[in-house]
Amino acid sequence: MNELKIFNSDLIPVYTTDTGEKVVIGRELHDALGIKSQYKDWFPRMADYGFSEGVDFNLLKNERVHKEGNRTVKRMVIDHILKFDMAKHICMIQRTETGKAIRQKLIDLEKAINGKDSYMIEDPIERAKVWIKEQEARKQLETQNAVQLQQIHEMHPKAIFADAVAASSTSILIGDLAKILKQNGVEIGQKRLFSWLRDKGFLIKRKGADWNSPTQRAMEAGLFEIKETAFSHSDGHVTVTKTTKVTGKGQQYFINKFLEAERSLAVRTTNE
């Protein structure tokens, strides 16, 4: 598991991942904005502005302990990890001074991350560590993207590309798989791919904490893996988020599935 640590706590806690990405927690943003409606009702409305799980936010399962009389009760609370773009948009649509202030704070932090200003960390040693981590993560991401683009451009026909994925040891998000499919001529977006995976029994379709998680059958087939991330909050409690990723074997399987469907469609069209 990868531990996430607080990067900045002015106005609202901002956390940094092990790859240097900055994120905020949904319920903490909800509280900081002073939203009156309950989080479980508010967040789906925010997500309806065009944001998608696995791309703009990830599910966070937060186990909390409550005292009920003489009993200690554990309850699972649904939360979310939000990327900066989604958090900024949510702040903007609130049309409040608090939302404006938090949005500006996130913009300032982005400038710091991009090197336009100095990092907003007072400790020079910690600032240097963060800078080194950011550079390493950026180089790693650039290398991965370059390799993937090279494969996409060089591997033809499409079946060769699908076979090459099998050798990949890198798991990717479902949204990234949708992009690869589209780059190879399959007209499908992220939302349609999620829906297809649920309809075909690869992802859990019932609403709840396990929604969009891999089914037991899909996990046993080695098509997906679950990445767990430990999250240390400002008040000391730790939560864990689980992100579904498509394995190299899964990428080959699903790409071949869609390519076979395209070939079948082409044959039927030719025979008509």
The domain of 237 spans 155-271
- Confirm if 125 and 144 have CB atoms less than 8 A apart: no
* Same domain as 73, residue 172: no
Closest CA relative to residue 86, chosen from 131, 30, 134, 136? 30
Q: Is residue 134 part of a domain?
A: no
Q: How many domains is the chain partitioned into structurally? A: 2
Q: Among residues 120, 144, 170, which one ends one of the domains?
A: 120
Domain assignment of residue 135, yes or no = no
CA dihedral 23, 18, 216, 59 (to 10 degrees): -10
Helix (H) or strand (E) run with residue 60 in it: strand 57-68
Select the more confidently predicted residue: 145 or 112: 112
Give counts: helices (H), strands (E), the chain. 10, 8
Half-sphere exposure of 9 (CA within 13 A, CB side): 7
The residue among 101 and 22 whose pLDDT is bigger is 101
- Residues 73-103 pLDDT 10s: 777 888 899 998 999 999 998 889 999 999 9
Q: Read off the pLDDT of each residue in 107-134 and give the average, rounded to a whole number.
A: 63
Residue 126 in domain: no
Q: What is the pTM of this model?
A: 0.46
- Condensed to tens digits (0 to 9), the pLDDT of residues 155-214 reads 444 444 444 454 455 788 898 888 888 877 788 888 999 999 999 999 998 887 788 899
**102 and 166 share a domain?**
no
What pLDDT, in 10s, does the model give residues 224-234?
998 877 777 67
pLDDT value at residue 127: 60
Mean pLDDT over each residue of the chain, to the nearest integer: 77
